[in-house]
Chain A
Amino acid sequence: MNAGSVSRYRHRRLANAMALLLGTLATLFGLFWLVWILWVTVSRGLAAISPALFTQLTPPPPGNGGGLANAFIGSLEVNVIALLAGTPVGIGAGMWLAEYAQRNALGTIIRFLNDILLSAPSIVLGLFVYALVVRPLGHFSALAGGLALALIVLPVVVRTTDEMLRLVPSTMREAALSLGVPQWKVILQILLRSARAGVVTGILLALARISGETAPLLFTSLNNQYWNHDPLKPIATVPVVIFQFAMSPFSGWHALAWAGALVVTLLVFVLGLLSRLLLARSKVIHD
Chain B
Amino acid sequence: MSALVPPSASPGTGTQIASRQRIAHDAWNDRLFRGLLLGCALLVLAALLGAAGSTLWGGRLAFHSFGWKFLVSDRWDAVNGQFGALVPIWGTLMTSLLAMLLAVPVSFGIALFLTEVAPAWLRAPVAAAVELLAGIPSIIYGMWGLFVLAPFLAAHVDPWLNDRLGALPGIGRLFRGPPLGIGMLTAGLVLAVMVIPFISSVMREVFKTVPARLKESAYALGSTTWEVVWNIVLPYTRSAVIGGIFLGLGRALGETMAVTFVLGNAHQFSESLLMPSSSIASVIANEFTEAYTDLHRSALIALGFLLFMVTFVVLAFAKLLLLRLARKEGDV
Contacts and interface: CB of A to CB of B under 8 A. Distances in A.
B117 A34 contact: no
Contact of B289 (A40, A218, A247): A218
Contacts of A47: none
A119 B109 CA distance: 24
A231 B16 CA distance: 53
B55 A214 contact: no
Given A16-B226, A121-B307, A182-B29, 17 more contacts: A20-B117, A23-B117, A24-B109, A30-B197, A33-B193, A37-B193, A96-B37, A119-B250, A121-B308, A123-B256, A123-B281, A124-B51, A124-B307, A127-B58, A127-B288, A219-B288, A265-B137
Contacts of A16: 224-227
10 contacts: A34-B132, A37-B193, A96-B38, A114-B44, A115-B315, A116-B48, A125-B51, A130-B288, A154-B44, A272-B132
Contacts of B105: 26
Interface residues of B, number: 90
A31 B227 CA distance: 26
A93 interface: yes
Contact of A92 (B37, B116, B138, B142): B37
Given A116-B48, A121-B253, A151-B47, A211 B281 contact: no
> Chain B's interface: helix, strand, loop or mixed, by majority?
helix
B251 A119 contact: yes
A117 B47 contact: yes
B137 A239 contact: yes
Given A37-B136, A127-B301, A121 B143 contact: no
Nearest to A260: B139
B266 interface: no
Interface string A88-132: 111111011101110000110110111111011111110110111
A212 interface: yes
A183 interface: yes
A60 to B, nearest CB: 19
Interface string B142-156: 111011100000000
A92 B132 CA distance: 30
A219 B109 CA distance: 40
Contact of A96 (B40, B251, B319): B40
A242 B51 contact: no
A222 interface: yes
Contacts of B112: 19-20, 23, 26
A239 B139 contact: yes
Interface string B135-178: 11111111110111000000000000000000000000000000
A112 B319 CA distance: 8
B140 A127 contact: no
A215 interface: yes
B316 interface: yes
B224 A23 contact: no
A34 B34 CA distance: 46
A246 interface: yes
A155 interface: yes
Contacts of B40: 88-93, 95-96
Interface string A11-41: 0110110111011111101110110111011
Contact of A214 (B43, B106, B139): B139
- Most A CB within 10 A of own CB, among B26, B43, B126, B141: B43
B41 interface: yes
B301 A121 contact: no
Given A27-B110, A33-B133, A116-B315, A212 B139 contact: yes
Nearest to B130: A30
B245 to A, nearest CB: 13
A153 to B, nearest CB: 11
Contact of B143 (A19, A112, A257): A257
Contacts of A90: 40
Contacts of B229: 19
B66 interface: no
Given A127-B54, A131-B57, A261-B140, A222 B135 contact: no
A36 B312 CA distance: 33
B54 A132 contact: yes
Interface string A166-187: 0000000000000010111001
A120 B256 CA distance: 12
Contact of A115 (B37, B139, B319): B319
A102 B130 CA distance: 33
Interface string A210-228: 0111110011001000000
